[in-house]
Amino acid sequence: MTVTALIVAAGRGLRVGGELPKQYLPLLGEPLLRHTARHFLSMPAVDHIRFVINPDDRDLYDQAVLGLDLLEPVAGGAERQDSVLNGLESLIDQGTSKILIHDCARPFPPEDAINQCLKILDEAQAAIVAMPVADTLKRDQSGICGETVERAGLWRAQTPQAFRFQAILNAHREAKGLKLTDDAAVAERAGIKVHLVTGSEDNFKVTNPEDLARAERLLMSKLMDVRCAGGFDVHKFGPGSFVTLCGIEIPHSHGLVGHSDADVGLHALTDALLGTIGAGDIGQHFPPTDEKWRGANSDQFLAHAGHLVRQKGGMIAHVDITLICERPKVGPHRPKMVERVAQILAISPDRVSIKATTTEELGFTGRREGIAAQAQATVRLPL
Q: Which residues bind Mg ion (CB under 5 A)?
A: 233, 267
Choose between 159 and 298: whose C-beta lies nearer to Mg ion. 298
Which residue of the chain is nearest Mg ion when measured via CB? Answer: 267
Choose between 233 and 299: whose C-beta lies nearer to Mg ion. 233
Choose between 203 and 270: whose C-beta lies nearer to Mg ion. 270
What's the closest the beta carbon of residue 347 comes to Mg ion, in angstroms? Answer: 22
The partner residues of 355 in beta bridges, in order of sequence, read 322
- Distance CA(345)–CA(361), nearest Å, equals 33
CA–CA distances in Å: residue 193 to residues 154, 197, 206, 242: 16, 13, 28, 67
What's the closest the beta carbon of residue 52 comes to Mg ion, in angstroms? Answer: 42
Choose between 304 and 312: whose C-beta lies nearer to Mg ion. 304
Coil, strand, or helix at residue 226?
Answer: strand
What's the closest the beta carbon of residue 334 comes to Mg ion, in angstroms? Answer: 21
Choose between 11 and 370: whose C-beta lies nearer to Mg ion. 370
List CB contacts of 230: < 8 A, sequence separation 6 or more: 271, 272, 275, 374, 375, 376, 377
List CB contacts of 70: < 8 A, sequence separation 6 or more: 37, 41, 49, 50, 51
What's the closest the beta carbon of residue 267 comes to Mg ion, in angstroms? Answer: 4
Question: Nearest to residue 101, comparing CAs of 36, 147, 148?
Answer: 36
Choose between 24 and 286: whose C-beta lies nearer to Mg ion. 286
Q: Strand 98-103 and strand 30-31: pairing?
A: unpaired
What's the closest the beta carbon of residue 270 comes to Mg ion, in angstroms? Answer: 9
CA 251 to chain centre: 35
The partner residues of 49 in beta bridges, in order of sequence, read 5
What's the closest the beta carbon of residue 123 comes to Mg ion, in angstroms? Answer: 56
